[in-house]
Amino acid sequence: MADRNFVDFVKVCCRSGNGGPGSSHFFRDRLQPQGGPDGGDGGKGGDIIVRANPQLWTLLHLKYRKHILAGHGESGGASRKTGADGKSEILEVPLGTVAKDFETGEILFEVTEEDQEYVLLSGGKGGRGNFHFKSATNQSPRYAQPGLPGKEEWKILELKVLADVGLVGFPNAGKSTLLSVVSAAKPKIANYPFTTLTPNLGIVSYRDSRSFVMADIPGIIEKAHEGKGLGHRFLRHIERNSLLLFLVPADADNIREQYHILLNELHMYNPELLYKPRLLGISKADLIDEEIKELLTPDLPEDVDIVFFSSATMQGITELKDQIWQSLNG
């Protein structure tokens, strides 16, 4: 059920409101039967606005709203009265939501702070009333501007999960199992690849009532940066994690090689990810003894701190938490 409730990608058709037409009214009363132009301006069309809401964690509420329509501006009135603006449509989204143009793929903005607002699609401008067109040579203009039409465009909203620690590894590396033993999260766990298809978040308790948030990112495969295996949808969640915890199982054929493949996928997707702090966790350490561990050590990567641990026996879990906390607050 949790997988179905987590939606991190929606495509919506947005239509902003038309601007209201200006008025071509002339002032008339008992004392001035032939008064001058006093037509007011039309109201502005409604905008499509994106607003950050920290209480949200998914785009599920927008999944079935394929058409987002804003209100039209009203016509200008007599006595230079401006028509009412069209009602804007506000889309509340979680922190970490990125808005893109569907046609070009251009990133329009990213929502990162509480109550932050951006105009996704602006409404049409209201037309000017005939009062504005009065001049010395044209005392009685009988025309006014029509309002400008609104826009209709397809937009994409993507969510990047925000967490202190992001788990990075191949499918079946033990990421979900680790999250389940260090937090109250209950991700789906099974002995086959791609058990995790959406990110799972868990709050990890630490010493002295402190805590940090850990995200179980779906497994990455080689050439994920090219989109293979839904790579782009998985990799984008890594961008907003403070620390990257790479997981490679102790029974892997070549731990160093797997680590560098993962590192390369991140580099090819976004080179800036390599500037994030990172740790290497060797999972399933209960499968090897101290003698094998000593034999493995010389062949491990030298440019990253390494922790051996086992989620099954809880071996090394405390040391792993200590290393994570030190990296987050160092």
User: Average pLDDT in the 244-270 region?
Assistant: 89
Predicted local confidence at residue 75, as pLDDT: 96
Q: What percent of the chain has pLDDT over 90?
A: 46
Predicted local confidence at residue 22, as pLDDT: 96
Together in a domain, 22 and 148: yes
User: Average pLDDT in the 92-109 region?
Assistant: 92
Together in a domain, 152 and 266: no
Together in a domain, 93 and 27: yes
Q: Above 50 in pLDDT, residue 264?
A: yes
Predicted local confidence at residue 193, as pLDDT: 43
Domain that holds residue 265: 163-329
Segments in the chain forming alpha helices (H): 2-5, 175-182, 231-235, 255-269, 290-296, 317-329
Predicted local confidence at residue 229, as pLDDT: 43
Residue 97: other Cβ atoms inside 10 A: 26
pLDDT in tens, 218-232: 766 555 444 444 445
Residue 329: other Cβ atoms inside 10 A: 8
Predicted local confidence at residue 185, as pLDDT: 62
Q: Above 90 in pLDDT, residue 131?
A: yes
Three-state DSSP state, 323 = helix
Residue 284: other Cβ atoms inside 10 A: 21
Handedness of CA 228, 233, 234, 238 (dihedral sign): positive
What gap in Å lies between CA 255 and CA 253, rounded to an integer?
7
Cα separations in angstroms, 273 against 28, 217, 269, 301: 69, 15, 9, 18
Residue 54 maps to which CATH number?
Answer: 2.70.210.12
Higher-confidence position of 163 and 73: 73
Together in a domain, 234 and 295: yes
Q: Above 90 in pLDDT, residue 233?
A: no
Together in a domain, 109 and 209: no
- The pLDDT mean for the chain works out to 85
User: Average pLDDT in the 298-318 region?
Assistant: 90
